[in-house]
Structure 1
Amino acid sequence: MAAADLGTAEWERSKITNQDLNLLKKLGITTKPKAVCFPSEESYPAPPMGYRVSFVDHLIRGLSTPIHPFLRGLLYVYGLQLHHLTPNSILHISIFITLCEAFLGVSPNWALWKRIFFCRRNGSPNVAYNIGGVVISIRSTADYFDVKLPDSVQGWRKRWLYIREENHGCAEDNIPPFDGAEKILRRRSWDAEATEEERTSTEALMTRIHELQNTRGKELSGIQIIVYFLKSRVQPLQARKFPLWKYTGNEDVDRLSVDLEVKDLERLVRKITSLSKKDSIPSSCRVKPYSATHALPKPVIKDLLRIGAQFVGYREYANKAEEKLAEANDRANTLAQQLEQSEKARKKAESDAIDARAEADKAKADAAGVEDLRKRLHTAETSLSDHIAAQSAREEAIRKRLTTQSRRFVARTAQEFQLDEPANDSLLDALSLLEVHGSEAREGIDQAKAGLSRLFPYFFPKKEEPATFLDLAKCFNPSEDLGLRVRHENMKVAVENTVALVAHSQQSIDWSKVGDTDQIEQSRWRSLIKAAKPNTRKILAYIGIKPSSTPSSSKPEV
């Protein structure tokens, strides 16, 4: 089963730490104004105008703008973008360029590169990466340096940023525009090997590489090459004014910063390689690199004689070439005359082209205006459709509420009404029916008010007619306790009758003491009540009150 390509799903919000920022500052990468732009909250790169997407781990391994022509060529030949390459791949290219310029004394060579490196897809059987989806590897048959790279660089995909695009007087130095959705397609160039002619022309360079690695006491290692370009403070992958074999030291125009402190240099070397704290970091190279103070060696006399002898057999060819050159000059003169004659036509064609371009631009602007109007019309139509749908839903909700109110009215009044002339509109018909119910309710209320106005004076002659039924109900519900009032009235009558009977019997009683019941205990009071029952029945019967069957044991209400 083919591996799934993650594509844009790999990108997430950039997470660059203060430690990363300090490292970029020490390396001089962020010293130029606006050289670097950091993302804000976007989770997918959207580089501003004039910027390209890069990574912190690419920059600390030798990348800078404008990019080196050799790197630009590799991206073109392999069909890649910068984010397709892993940090280890970037470091391989930096080491190769440094090796060629500083230790071989040649420009980076495509034929030599093919003898040493090839490309392969990065991923697993189930997942194919887009960010870092291509790995540059050393051929198993190549006699090359052991660079001691880490197996993987943790978290490098999250440390992305924008670097300002620059050129070195040529558009070829520009980084290809960012396209995060572009899929990686394997090309034949990934596995391209050097031709027999290329192998012959680079055999001396491969021999020199073997000597650099194996000369006793002067062995050159991949770590030494890394240390050299980090100490020189020149980014190998940057297009420079001069190659490294003309490096002038601290005053070199291509340096990005001052020398790194020893601890910072060692920490950086361990960061980009697999060396641990126990491994020592070389302070210099055992082989002196070429520079302005250590110039390239001049060709030996034997090589000069060999080169000169190669031209002896070409004298006859040179004479024929002179004759052909004369013929070419005559043809060139004729063409010059024709060109001069057609100058007016060319100028007219240029003028016509300018006019046509202006008309095309105007047509594009008009088309853009029409497209904008079309989009606005589509938006308005969509908004109107949404509004109509919302209005229909609202009308349906209103109709349901009106229908519910009509059903409740019918349930309470036991009356049903039919419209004489329905509008055949559910909303209007429900509203009309509710109006009928409302008219019926208002008529009933008016009739109730009229009846109340005629009956109220008979029940409450001294009160003003209330405005609402709630006020009417309050008239029938006084605030005082009527039951208690009745009991008080009955007791008053009973006491008055009892006093009248005692007075009639002509008995002498101290009535001030009779009313003082608080001094009598509860048990005493009950015994007195019990003793008084027979006389109480007689008194109640005498005054015409039927006695209660349940005796009272409570104290009297005075």
Structure 2
Amino acid sequence: MAAQDLGNTEWERSKISAQDINLLKKLGLSKKKDALRFPSEESYPTPPIGYRVSFVDHLIHGLFVPIHDFLRGLLFVYGLQLHHLTPNSILHVSIFITLCECFLGVHPNWALCKRIFFLRRNGSHNIAYNIGGVVICVRPDVEYFDVKFSDSVQGWRKRWLYIREESADSLEHNIPPFNGNEKILRRRSWDAEATDEEKSATGALMTCIHELQNTRGQELSGIQITTYFLRIRVQPLQARKNPLWMYAGDKDVDRLSIDLSVKDLEKLVRKISSLSKKDAIPTTCRVVPYSGTTPSPSGEEEEEEEEEEEPAANVTAPMSMSHTLALSETHCTAEETSTPHPDLQRSTPATSPRASSPKRARIELEALLAADKHAEDLAGKLKASEEAREKAENDASCIEGLRKRLHEAETDLSDKITQHVAREGNIASRLESLNRRFVRKMSQDFVLQKPEDDRLLDALSLLEIHADLVRRSIFDAKAAFPRLFPYFFPKKKEPDTFAALAKSFVPQEDLGLSLRQENLKIGVEGTITLVVESQQNVDWAKVGAATKLKQDKWPSLIRAAKPHSKKILAFLGYKPTPSSSSAKPEVK
């Protein structure tokens, strides 16, 4: 199963801290006006025109603007953008350029680069990264410096920013504009090996690298090279006025800041490497690097070169980027498209303090002639790419407008989401207040059986339960109040509305007490009526003894008391029998 390409899902709002900004200031990387721009609240990069997307970790690993031509060519040949490379890959290129200029005395050599490095896709079995999706690796059969890369650089993808793209030449020299949707496609150039001519031309350089690694007492390591370019405050991946073999110390025009303190230097080296606090940080290199203050080596080799013919006077030319690039591109097919590569015309680098021997110079000159022929073939293939590049540049302004509109739409959507969340919170608060009022008045609370884990929905569910209880209570009251009204208010007319009917049962006086008093009055009236109708003299002190009354007087007495007894019996819920008026009471 193919690995899933994360694509745009890897991007999120940049999280550059104040500590990161202070580090960039200390390294002199933010001193140059408009060289860096920090994103605001956008969650997807929208670089202004003339800017590219990079990372804080790229900058502290040796990158700066304007970008070195060697890195421009590398991105072109491999079909990559800056954000495709990991920080460790950036450090690999920085170390390689420092090695070539400071310890080999040549310009960055493309043929030598192919002999040492190859590319592979970064990711796991199930995930293919887009940010940092390509890793530069040392070939397994090559003896190279142990760089001691940092084992874990997690979080570097979140610290992205914009760097200004500068070029003194035509637009073809610029690196490709940022395109987060462009998928990483593997090319033949990723695995391209040096040709026989290139191996022959770089044989002496490989021998020199092995000597630098294995000379007893003068072993050079990758961490020494890293510490050196961090200490001299010159970014290897920046296009510079002078190569590093002409480094002039504190007054060098390419220096970005003053010397770092020993503590800051050691902290920075440990930040980009796997060295711990227990490991010592080398303050100097065991091999003295070439610089403006270091004299050129002397010996028979230099004397022989002075007698050499004029074409061999500048023997480091075959090592330059522009010549050896043509050899490497012969491995690419016409279907593999990429952005145009910087100028392929011949350029003569500054004289190197380490010149080659006459024999090696002749071999390199032959390789150069062959490279020129391949360059002509490659120029035809590049013509179509140049036309496509011009069209892309013309469309850049339109794309920038679309990006601006998209950013405005995202901002507007974010504001509306914020308003919607605030409105939902307000509604939930009001619902919760209503529920609290119900609990205080009814003294009955409910718990949801299956809450939605949503504040608004849960508060609404409780309010619906409370409302249902109130509806049932009102329905029962509507059924009871009309039946009770005639007994509590016999002289009043029943109200037309339920609200008025319910209000009648909430007077200031006690309705139950009033009803009991009324019943007592009816009872007294009935008793007096019985006594009067019986035409008997009653001893009221012995009124409780019913045997004193004559039995033949009961029918007339019952008839007199019947209107009052009906009310009492009806209120109590009893129905008198049809013969109750003629029934004789039982008196014991």
TM tier, smaller: 0.5 to 0.7
Q: Which of the residues 541, 544, 550 maps onto 1:530?
A: 544
Once the two structures are TM-superposed, the CA of residue 235 in structure 1 deviates from its matched residue by 0.9
Cα distance in 1 for residues equivalent to 2:19 and 2:312: 59
Deviation at 1:497, TM superposition (A): 8.7
What is the deviation of 1:72? 0.2
TM-score by length of 2: 0.56
What are the ranges of 5 or more consecutive residues in structure 1 without an aligned counterpart? 312-360, 369-459, 515-524, 552-558
- Alignment-derived partner of residue 134 in structure 1: 134
CA distance in 2 between counterparts of 1:192 and 1:66 reads 28
Deviation at 1:100, TM superposition (A): 1.2
Aligned counterpart, 2:454 = none
Aligned-pair CA distance for 1:536: 4.9
* Candidates 524, 529, 545, aligned match of 1:491: 524
Structure 1, residues 160-218: CA drift from partner, whole Å, max 9, x if none? Answer: 22223333455455332111111111222112222222222222322222222233332
Tell me which residue corresponds to 1:39: 39
Contact (CA 8 Å) 1:12, 1:158: kept in 2 or not?
Answer: yes
- 1:66 is matched with 66
- Are residue 24 (structure 1) and residue 24 (structure 2) matched? yes
Residue 261 of structure 1 is matched in structure 2 by: 261
Give 3-state SS (helix, strand or coil) of 2:88's partner.
Answer: helix
Shift of 1:485: 5.4
Alignment partner, residue 144 of structure 1: 144
How much has 1:17 moved relative to structure 2? 3.4
Aligned-pair CA distance for 1:286: 1.8
Q: 1:76, 1:309 → 2: CA distance?
A: 30
Amino acid at match of 2:215: T
Question: Corresponding residue for 2:77?
Answer: 77
Distance in 1 separating the partners of 2:284 and 2:126: 44
Is the contact between residue 530 and residue 558 of structure 2 (CA under 8 Å) also seen in structure 1? Answer: no
Over 3 Å counting, the alpha-carbon distance change for 1:495 and 1:544 in structure 2 is: closer
Alignment of 1:252 onto 2:252: yes
| Structure 1 match to 2:111 | 111
Given the superposition, is the C-alpha separation of residues 57 and 309 from structure 1 closer, same or farther in structure 2, using an over 3 Å criterion? closer
2:89–2:135 Cα contact (<8 Å) kept = yes
**1:55 pairs with 2:55:** yes
Aligned to 1:87: 87
**Match of 1:160, as an amino acid?**
W
Hey, what's the Cα distance between the residues in 2 that align with 1:501 and 1:122?
A: 119
Structure-2 residue corresponding to 1:184 = 184
Q: Structure 1 residues 482 and 43 mapped into 2: Cα distance closer, same or farther (>3 Å)?
A: closer
**Structure 2 counterparts to residues 269-418 of structure 1, below 5 A:** 269-297=269-297, 300-307=302-309
Show the counterpart of 2:378.
none
| AA of the residue aligned to 1:306 | E
Tell me, in whole angstroms, the C-alpha distance in 2 between the residues paired with 1:539 and 1:31: 128
Q: How much is the aligned-residue C-alpha RMSD, in angstroms?
A: 4.1
Task: Note the C-alpha offset of 1:89.
Answer: 0.9
State the Cα deviation string for residues 42-73 of structure 1 (Å, max 9, x = none).
33322233321111211110011111000000
Which structure has the larger Rg? 1
SS at match of 2:162: strand
Cα distance in 2, alignment partners of residues 116 and 487 from structure 1: 118
Q: Is the 8 A contact 1:67 1:174 kept in 2?
A: no
2:533–2:557 contact (8 Å) kept in structure 1: no
Q: Hey, what's the Cα distance between the residues in 2 that align with 1:50 and 1:294? A: 39
- The one-letter amino acid of 1:67's match is I
Aligned to 1:159: 159
Partner of 1:356: none
**Distance change (3 Å), C-alpha of 1:144 and 1:470:** closer
Compared CA separation, residues 545 and 180, structure 1 to 2 (3 A): closer
> Post-superposition shift, 1:144?
2.3
Measured in 1, the distance between the counterparts of 2:115 and 2:221 equals 19
Question: 1:95, CA displacement in angstroms?
Answer: 0.4
Q: Deviations over 1:106-161 (max 9, x none)?
A: 21111121121111222333332222221111123333222122344222222222
Letter in structure 2 aligned against 1:118: F
Displacement of 1:529 in angstroms is: 4.1
* AA in 1 matched with 2:544: K
- Are the structure 2 counterparts of residues 164 and 536 from structure 1 closer, same or farther at C-alpha, using a change threshold of 3 Å? farther
Q: Which residue of 2 aligns with 1:242?
A: 242
Rounded Cα–Cα distance in structure 2 between residues aligned with 1:294 and 1:489: 132
Deviation at residue 492 of structure 1 after TM alignment: 4.9
> 1:273 and 1:146 mapped to 2: Cα distance?
11
For 2:515 and 2:216, locate their aligned partners in 1 and report how far apart those are by CA, in whole Å.
127
SS of residue paired to 2:309? helix
Q: Tell me whether 1:221 sits opposite 2:235 in the alignment.
A: no
Distance 1:169-1:260 versus aligned 2 partners, 3 A rule: farther
Aligned-pair identity in percent equals: 62
The 1:101–1:482 alpha-carbon spacing in structure 2 relative to 1, beyond 3 Å, is closer
CA contact (8 A) 2:534 2:557 kept: no
Measured after TM superposition, the shift of residue 32 of structure 1 is 3.1
Please give the alpha-carbon distance, in whole angstroms, between the structure 2 residues aligned to 1:226 and 1:266: 11
1:103 partner letter: F
Whole-angstrom distance in 1 between the partners of 2:38 and 2:158: 12
Aligned counterpart, 2:4: 4
| Cα separation, partners in 2 of 1:3 and 1:470, compared to 1, 3 Å | closer
Instruction: State the Cα distance separating 1:229 from its structure 2 match.
Output: 0.4
Alpha carbons of structure 1 residues 152 and 302: separation in structure 2 relative to 1, 3 Å: same
* The 10-residue stretch of structure 1 (252-261 or 58-67) with the greater mean CA deviation from structure 2: 252-261
* Distance in 2 (alpha carbons) for counterparts of 1:32 and 1:303: 42
> Amino acid of the residue matched to residue 283 of structure 1?
T
Q: CA deviation at 1:219?
A: 2.3
Instruction: Please give the alpha-carbon distance, in whole angstroms, between the structure 2 residues aligned to 1:156 and 1:17.
Output: 12
Q: In structure 1, how many angstroms separate the alpha carbons of the residues matched to 2:3 and 2:525? A: 107
Quote the Cα distance in structure 2 between the aligned partners of 1:194 and 1:499. Answer: 140
Residue aligning to 1:208 = 208
User: Structure 2 CA distance, aligned partners of 1:125 and 1:79?
Assistant: 23
> 1:327-360: per-residue Cα shift (whole Å, max 9, x none)?
xxxxxxxxxxxxxxxxxxxxxxxxxxxxxxxxxx
Could you say if the C-alpha distance between residues 70 and 491 of structure 1 is closer, same or farther in structure 2, counting changes exceeding 3 Å? Answer: same
Specify whether residues 112 and 486 from structure 1 end up closer, same or farther in structure 2 by C-alpha distance, changes over 3 A only: closer
Separation in 2, partners of 1:188, 1:39: 35
Aligned length: 377
Instruction: Map 1:96-107 to 2 at 5 A.
Output: 96-107=96-107
Label 1:13 to 1:195 Cα distance change in 2 as closer, same or farther (>3 A): same
Structure 1 residues 202 and 307: alpha-carbon distance in aligned structure 2, compared to 1, 3 A threshold: farther
Answer yes or no: is the 8 Å Cα contact 2:227–2:269 preserved in 1.
Answer: yes
- CA change 1:190–1:534 in 2 (3 A) is same
Q: Alpha carbons of 1:469 and 1:187: their partners in 2 closer, same or farther (altered >3 Å)? A: closer
Q: Is the 8 A contact 1:68 1:173 kept in 2?
A: no
Instruction: Judge conservation of contact 1:67–1:173 (CA < 8 Å) in 2.
Output: no
| Structure 2 residue identity aligned to 1:235 | Q
Contact 1:122 1:133 in 2 (8 A): yes
Q: Structure 1 CA distance, aligned partners of 2:108 and 2:556? A: 140
- The letter of the residue matching 1:214 is N
Aligned partner of residue 207 in structure 1, secondary structure: helix
User: Residues 413-432 of structure 1: matches in 2 within 5 Å?
Assistant: none
Tell me, yes or no, if the aligned pair for 1:67 and 1:237 is still in contact at 8 Å: yes
In the superposition, relative to structure 1, how do residues 485 and 153 fare at CA in structure 2: closer, same or farther (>3 Å)?
A: closer
Distance 1:530 1:68, change over 3 A: same
CA distance 1:482–1:190, change in 2 (3 Å): closer
- CA gap of 1:206–1:538, structure 2 versus 1, over 3 A, is same
Amino acid in structure 2 at the alignment position of 1:304: E
- Change in 2 beyond 3 A, CA 1:215/1:469: closer
Evaluate the alpha carbon distance shift between residue 26 and residue 246 of structure 1 in structure 2; reply closer, same or farther with a 3 A threshold.
same
The worse-fitting range, judged by mean Cα deviation, of 275-284 and 163-172 is 163-172
